[in-house]
Amino acid sequence: MASQPKTALITGAASGIGRHYAELYAQSNIPVAALDINKNGLESLAAQYPSITAFPVDMTDSLAVEKAVTAALKTLTSVDRVINAAAIMPCGDILSQDTADILKIMEINYGGLVNLTKAVLPSMINQGHGQYVVFSSMLGVMPTLKTGAYSASKFATSVFVEVLAQENIDSGVQFACVCPPAVNTPLLDQVRDTQWPKIMDETPIITIEDVTEAIETGLKKGRFWIYPGKTTYMGSLMRRLFPSAVWKHIQKVEQKA
Ligand SMILES: NC(=O)c1ccc[n+]([C@@H]2O[C@H](COP(=O)([O-])OP(=O)(O)OC[C@H]3O[C@@H](n4cnc5c(N)ncnc54)[C@H](O)[C@@H]3O)[C@@H](O)[C@H]2O)c1
pLDDT tens, residue by residue, 193-238: 999 999 999 999 999 999 999 999 999 999 999 999 999 999 999 9
pLDDT band at 256; cut points 50, 70, 90:
confident
CA trace torsion 154, 157, 163, 164 (10° rounding): -160
What single letter denotes the amino acid at residue 255?
A: Q
DSSP 32-61: EEEEES-HHHHHHHHHH-TTEEEEE--TT-
Q: What is the mean pLDDT of the chain?
A: 96
62-76 helix and 112-127 helix, angle to the nearest 10 degrees: 30
Distance CA 159, CA 41 (A): 30
CA of 133 to the centre of ligand 1 (A): 14
Q: Measured in whole angstroms, how far is the alpha carbon of residue 132 from the centre of its chain?
A: 11
Q: Diameter of the chain by CA atoms?
A: 56
**Dist. CA 116 → ligand 1 center (Å):** 15
**37-47 average pLDDT score:** 97
Residue positions annotated with a catalytic role: 150
Cα–Cα distance measured from residue 133 to residue 108, given in angstroms and rounded to the nearest whole number = 17
pLDDT tens-digit profile of 124-133?
999 999 999 9
Give residue 159 CA to ligand 1 midpoint distance, Å: 19
Does 257 score more than 60 pLDDT?
no
Structural domains in the chain, CATH included, are 8-255 (3.40.50.720)
* Per-residue pLDDT at 173: 98
**What is the Cα gyration radius of the chain?**
18
Residue 199 Cα distances to 19, 146, 210, 242, 249, angstroms: 27, 10, 20, 17, 9
Residue 250's contacts (CB-CB under 8 Å, 6 or more residues apart) are 144, 145, 199
Q: Which of 9, 10, 15 to mutate to test the pocket of ligand 1 (most atoms within 8 A of CB)?
A: 15
Residue nearest to atom 37 of ligand 1 (CA): 38
Tell me the one-letter amino acid at 37.
I
Binned at pLDDT 50, 70 and 90, residue 3 comes out as low
Is residue 257 classed exposed, middle or buried when 0-12, 13-18 and 19+ CB atoms within 10 A define those classes? exposed
Pocket of ligand 1, beta carbon within 6 A: 12, 14-18, 36-38, 41, 58-60, 85-88, 108, 112, 135, 137, 180, 182-183, 185-188
Which atom, in ligand 1's list, is nearest to the CA of 182? 3
- Cα torsion angle, 86, 108, 36, 192, sign: negative
- CB proximity list for 201: less than 8 A, separation 6 or greater: none
Q: How far is the CA of 257 from the centre of ligand 1 (A)?
A: 30
pLDDT at 1 over 50: no
